[in-house]
Structure 1
Amino acid sequence: MGNVAQTDEARIVAARVRAWLGAGGLRPTRQRLSLATLLVGDGRDRHVTAEGLFGAAQDAGEAVSLATVYNTLKAFCDAGLIHEITVDGARSYFDTRLDDHPHFFWEDTAKLTDAPAEDLEIARLPQAPEGAEISRVDVVIRVRPKAR
C-alpha cells in the first residue's frame, strides 16, 4: 500500500513541476526537472541561494554543477517563474512566491523570510527616469536578535 501512495505522490510532484516549467515556456530538461522538483515539488514557497540549492541537489544525488544551478535559476527568473532578491552585492536569494511582498533578512543567520505585506505601506514612489518604467519594488527589512 505504501508504494502506491509513494507512486501517486511522485506523479503529483512530476505533474506540478512540469506544469510550472510549462507556465514559463521552458523545456523540461533533466537539470531543470531536478532543480524545479527541489524548488516547487512540494508546492510550498521558499527562498534559496544558488549555493543552498546546489547543496540540496547534491544531497538528493543529482549530478549538477554549481554553474548549472546558477544558469538554471537565471532561466527560471527570465521565464518569470521566480524572483531574484539581492540582499547585498555578494548574495542573492531566489523566491518562488511571485506576488508583491516584503522580506526580512536575518543578519545573524543570513536567512531571508517573508514579512507580512499587510503591515507595509508605501505611500509614493518616485517617477521613473524618462524612457523607463518601474517593474518591481523589492523591500528587504534587515533584522537581528535584540541585544541582551
Structure 2
Amino acid sequence: MEGSGPVLRQGCPFNDVRQKLRRVGLRPTRQRVSLGWVLFAKGDRHVSAEMLFDEAMRERIPVSLATIYNTLRQFTDAGLLRELAIDGSKTYFDTASHEHHHFVIEDENRVIDIPARDIDVATLPTPPEGYEIAHVDVVVRLRKVEG
C-alpha cells in the first residue's frame, strides 16, 4: 500500500491549499482545506476514499466517509484530481495533473504512474457526433510472476 511508511510532507501548506481551491472556484471550507492538505502534502499519489478516510482519522480530522466521497467528487469535478475507476469496484483518485497512464498491481491495491511518452496510442476511434475525446486513460494490469 502506498503511504504505509512514515508521513513525509512535501509542502502544500494550508495557505497553498486555500489558494488552490479558490483558483478552481471552490470555497476553502475547513474540511476541504484539511482534506486537501492530507491529499496534496505528500506529492503525487493515488488514494481511494477509504485510504483518505483512514489518513484523515490519523490526522484527527473529524470527517465522515460520506464527506470524503463528496469532497473527492468536488475536487475531481474542479480538475484537482483525476478519477481512476478500476474494475468497476475500486476507484482511486490521482493527485497528479500531468498527462500519464497507470499500472495497476493486481492483489496489492496499488497504482503506479506510467509517463505518457511510454505509451503510444497511435489511432483513436472517431467519437460519435456531438462528442469529443476528453482524455485517454491507459491502464496496464500487472501481477507477480509465479515461481
TM-score, normalising length from structure 1? Answer: 0.88
Aligned 8 A contact 2:99 2:115 in 1: no
Aligned 8 A contact 1:103 1:113 in 2: yes
Measured in 2, the distance between the counterparts of 1:45 and 1:123 equals: 27
Between structures 1 and 2, the one with greater helix share? 1
Structure-2 residue corresponding to 1:34 = 34
Aligned length: 138
Amino acid at match of 2:146: A
Structure-2 residue corresponding to 1:56 = 55
- Displacement, 1:12? 6.0
Measured in 1, the distance between the counterparts of 2:92 and 2:103 equals: 12
Measured in 1, the distance between the counterparts of 2:107 and 2:90 equals: 15
Aligned 8 A contact 1:83 1:98 in 2: yes
Measured in 1, the distance between the counterparts of 2:107 and 2:82 equals: 23
Aligned 8 A contact 1:46 1:96 in 2: yes
Structure-2 residue corresponding to 1:86 = 85
Amino acid at match of 1:70: Y
Aligned 8 A contact 2:101 2:139 in 1: yes
Q: Secondary structure at the match of 2:108?
A: coil
Measured in 2, the distance between the counterparts of 1:113 and 1:100 equals: 13
Measured in 2, the distance between the counterparts of 1:12 and 1:34 equals: 11
Aligned 8 A contact 1:47 1:112 in 2: yes
Max radius of gyration: which structure?
A: 1
Structure-2 residue corresponding to 1:6 = none
- Displacement, 1:20? 1.5
Q: Secondary structure at the match of 1:113?
A: strand
What are the within-5 Å matches in structure 2 for residues 1-148 of structure 1? 13-42=13-42, 44-148=43-147
Measured in 2, the distance between the counterparts of 1:71 and 1:98 equals: 20
Alignment deviations for residues 15-38 of structure 1 (CA, whole Å, 9 cap, x no partner): 221122122111111110111000
- Displacement, 1:96? 0.8
Measured in 2, the distance between the counterparts of 1:95 and 1:131 equals: 28
Measured in 2, the distance between the counterparts of 1:113 and 1:50 equals: 17
Measured in 1, the distance between the counterparts of 2:94 and 2:58 equals: 21
